[in-house]
């Protein structure tokens, strides 16, 4: 049912206009029309929709730019300096600029025979049947997935073959270039086959002062005994709107370890909706959010333990300064069949200013009787006793605060386990804190 009481927002109208302007001969026309219909019926979610209570898109999204055209090659190339976070790490790289795969900026020589990669654009041109998989009437799938299906132009289709172990990480760069706002919509499909192991990094970056939008959906399948580390670094430009949805399915004994580093954008929501399909799968989900100014950064996790023996760990830290707002929503559902599930969730926020805000919403829904589940959520200020102790040793107030915030965030970062990635994210955190790097 449509929310008849609500007048369409400027952004909703803009989406409708952009949708009407899509080429008429698109082979995916029907799928897109269904998806956009599902979006249009409900519109942007708002605070009375429980899942979006703290991130009211009706209020936050002022407008919606038209799908971005590919960037001129020199514009795209020079924008790459913004996506340099992982430059110290040997890696392969798949680059999308303004929502379009750019082979000339990509580097896939290290992937060898172990990995099949194709840009999704090719499949989309064939009619896009592969996208027709989600129940768009399900409110959980709206609006990010519906908008994604309606506007998706490209993405990465990645298959890591059975038993393959990637020698170095693979990075997916999502970069916006240019000074005109635009919408970039990507859909990734990642399959890590049985026994395979990979680390996939994702970097999101773009210019400050441009109100572009990123809509990204990643469908991930981690097969039996496979292992995937998934590091998302959200460093969008300061006026960007970022909507990310990660949809992992874990088969028996799979290990999926995502880390969400949220630092950029005006408004961002990074959401993971994870299904434990096979027994004894493990997921360690961690992340840090650093926000200041008037940023709004939301991390939402929905875990569905449907089968026995799953283990999930959620550990999130946030440091919020200025008038920024952080949101953490974590929901763990343990179905009746999912005995011996072990789920632990912890979210801790540090408020660094009077007007900083954090909304912490842990939820457990347990229908099985032999499980171990726990959650904790804290929200506080810097510990005065710790601050005094450091100052009593001659460390000035600013440096002492930097040390404490850094230490607080590092507790989550250090659980990543990969020293090179830990170093990158800790150095990035220190830059955010204004710590001068020792020569």
Q: Footprint of another protein on this chain (CB under 8 A)? A: 385-386, 388-397, 399-400, 403-404, 406-408, 410-411
User: Smallest distance, Å, CB 231 to another protein?
Assistant: 20
Question: Distance between CA atoms of 81 and 78, rounded to whole angstroms?
Answer: 6
- For residue 60, CA distances in Å to 53, 141, 267, 399 come to 12, 19, 8, 34
User: Smallest distance, Å, CB 401 to another protein?
Assistant: 12
User: Smallest distance, Å, CB 393 to another protein?
Assistant: 4
User: Smallest distance, Å, CB 389 to another protein?
Assistant: 4
- Taking the least distance from each CB to another protein, the nearer of 217 and 425 is 425
Q: How is residue 69 annotated by DSSP?
A: P
3-state secondary structure of 254: coil
Question: Distance between CA atoms of 89 and 105, rounded to whole angstroms?
Answer: 17
User: Torsions phi, psi of 224, nearest 5?
Assistant: -50, 125
User: Smallest distance, Å, CB 395 to another protein?
Assistant: 5
Bridge partners for 296 per DSSP: 267, 325
3-state secondary structure of 252: coil
- Taking the least distance from each CB to another protein, the nearer of 367 and 388 is 388
- Taking the least distance from each CB to another protein, the nearer of 81 and 392 is 392
CB count within 10 Å of CB 133 equals 11
- Taking the least distance from each CB to another protein, the nearer of 138 and 411 is 411
- Taking the least distance from each CB to another protein, the nearer of 130 and 404 is 404
- Taking the least distance from each CB to another protein, the nearer of 179 and 384 is 384
- Taking the least distance from each CB to another protein, the nearer of 246 and 409 is 409
105: its two tokens:
């900026």
Contacts of 18 (CB under 8 A, 6+ apart): 64, 66, 67, 151, 183
- Taking the least distance from each CB to another protein, the nearer of 87 and 411 is 411
User: Smallest distance, Å, CB 119 to another protein?
Assistant: 41
Dihedral in degrees, nearest 10, Cα atoms 428, 242, 186, 197: 40
User: Smallest distance, Å, CB 434 to another protein?
Assistant: 15
User: Smallest distance, Å, CB 404 to another protein?
Assistant: 7
Cβ burial of 322 (10 Å; 0-12, 13-18, 19+) is middle
- For residue 112, CA distances in Å to 92, 94, 161, 229 come to 10, 14, 11, 19
411: its two tokens:
């507790």
């Amino acid at each position: 049912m449509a929310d008849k009481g609500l007048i369409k927002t400027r952004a909703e109208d803009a989406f409708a206009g952009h949708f009407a302007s899509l080429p008429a001969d698109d082979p995916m026309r029907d799928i897109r029309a269904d998806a956009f219909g599902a979006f249009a019926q409900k519109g942007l979610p708002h605070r009375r929709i429980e899942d979006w209570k703290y991130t009211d898109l009706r209020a936050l999204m002022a407008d919606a730019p038209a799908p971005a055209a590919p960037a001129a090659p020199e514009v795209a190339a020079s924008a790459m300096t913004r996506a340099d976070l992982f430059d110290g790490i040997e890696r392969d790289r798949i680059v999308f600029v303004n929502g379009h795969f750019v082979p000339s900026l990509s580097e896939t020589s290290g992937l060898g025979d172990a990995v099949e990669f194709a840009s999704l654009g090719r499949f989309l041109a064939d009619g896009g049947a592969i996208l027709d998989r989600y129940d768009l009437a399900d409110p959980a799938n709206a609006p990010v997935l519906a908008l994604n299906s309606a506007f998706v132009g490209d993405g990465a289709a990645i298959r890591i073959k059975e038993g393959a172990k990637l020698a170095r990480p693979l990075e997916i760069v999502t970069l916006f270039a240019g000074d005109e706002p635009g919408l970039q919509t990507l859909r990734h499909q990642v399959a890590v086959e049985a026994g395979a192991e990979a680390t996939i990094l994702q970097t999101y970056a773009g210019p400050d002062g441009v109100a572009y939008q990123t809509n990204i959906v990643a469908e991930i399948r981690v097969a039996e005994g496979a292992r995937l580390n998934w590091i998302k670094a959200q460093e969008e430009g300061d006026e960007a709107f970022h909507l990310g949805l990660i949809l992992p399915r874990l088969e028996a004994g799979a290990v999926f370890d995502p880390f969400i580093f949220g630092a950029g954008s005006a408004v961002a929501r990074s959401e993971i909706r994870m299904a434990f399909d096979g027994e004894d799968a493990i997921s360690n989900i961690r992340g840090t959010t650093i926000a200041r100014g008037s940023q709004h950064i939301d991390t939402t996790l929905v875990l569905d333990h449907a089968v026995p023996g799953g283990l999930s760990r959620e550990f999130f830290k946030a440091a919020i300064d200025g008038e920024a707002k952080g949101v953490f929503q974590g929901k763990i559902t343990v179905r009746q069949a999912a005995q011996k599930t072990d789920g632990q969730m912890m979210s801790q926020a540090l408020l660094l200013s009077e007007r900083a805000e954090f909304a912490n919403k842990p939820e457990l829904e347990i229908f099985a009787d032999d499980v171990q589940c726990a959650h904790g959520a804290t929200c506080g200020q810097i510990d005065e006793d710790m601050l005094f102790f450091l100052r009593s040793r001659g460390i000035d107030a600013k440096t002492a605060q930097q040390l404490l915030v850094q230490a607080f965030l590092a507790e989550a970062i250090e659980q990543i386990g990969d020293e090179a990635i830990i170093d990158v994210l800790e150095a990035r955190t220190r830059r955010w804190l204004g710590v001068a790097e020792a020569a």
